[in-house]
Amino acid sequence: MSLSDRIAVMSAGKVMQVGSPQDIYQRPDNRFVADFVGSANFFPARVLERKPNGLVVEFSGGTFKIDSWAPGSKQNDDVLLVIRQEDLEIVPESDSSIHGIVRGTEFLGTHTECMVEIGGQTALATLKPGGGMIMPAEGSTVGLRFQENRVHVITDEPE
């Protein structure tokens, strides 16, 4: 991705998306592209309201204003929220409306990757140094936070 100014992502001979490296990574057209370029978490959500500059969605028991919208999505549609691992942050349980159970951790020097079970599915989240949290123990409950402008929404359809 660092050598190109335009990328074409293909699957089984079919072009899935063409765009800049930033577009491909931050605004994938579908689940295949999101999963192909980097680590992505996919969370089922329901559209509660469509606004001119985004969606209000229900996800994991919370309601969030997302600064993205899937083309053609409307109220009560099922969508997938694409949240990159580095954008899903471990925080104290009391600081978040989203909670998960730690299933594993891996210290990588600059940060710690945590496998967290959220609503029956496993997600990768990041514990950033200096955030006031120590490495959580396996089986402990943690809070999760994401910046709503870093979430991308795609339709929950097969590629």
60 vs 123, which has greater pLDDT? 123
- 49 found inside a domain: no
- 72 found inside a domain: no
Where residue 130 sits, what CATH number does that domain have? 2.40.50.140
The candidate with the shortest Cα–Cα distance to 74, out of 94, 96, 101, 56, is: 56
Burial-class residue 70 by CB neighbours within 10 Å (0-12, 13-18, 19+). buried
Burial-class residue 127 by CB neighbours within 10 Å (0-12, 13-18, 19+). buried
Number of Cβ atoms within 10 Å of the Cβ of 152:
22
- 78 found inside a domain: no
Rg of the chain over Cα atoms, rounded to whole angstroms, equals 16
CA 119 – CA 34 distance, rounded (Å) = 21
In this prediction the pTM is 0.86
Helix/strand/coil for 96: coil
- 62 found inside a domain: no
**pLDDT given at position 110:** 84
Query: For residue 33, what are its two tokens?
Result: 């592209």
**pLDDT given at position 96:** 85
Whether residue 103 is predicted with pLDDT greater than 70 in this model: the reply is: yes
Domain count, the chain: 2
- 128 found inside a domain: yes
Could you tell me which residues are beta bridge partners of residue 40?
84
- 43 found inside a domain: no
Query: How far does CA 10 lie from the centroid of its chain?
Result: 22
Strands of 38-151 (E only): list them: 40-51, 54-59, 62-66, 78-84, 88-91, 98-107, 112-118, 121-127, 141-146
Domain range for 132 is 86-146
Q: Where are the alpha helices (DSSP H) in 29-84?
A: 31-36
CA 32 – CA 151 distance, rounded (Å) = 16
Confidence of residue 4 (pLDDT cuts 50, 70, 90): confident
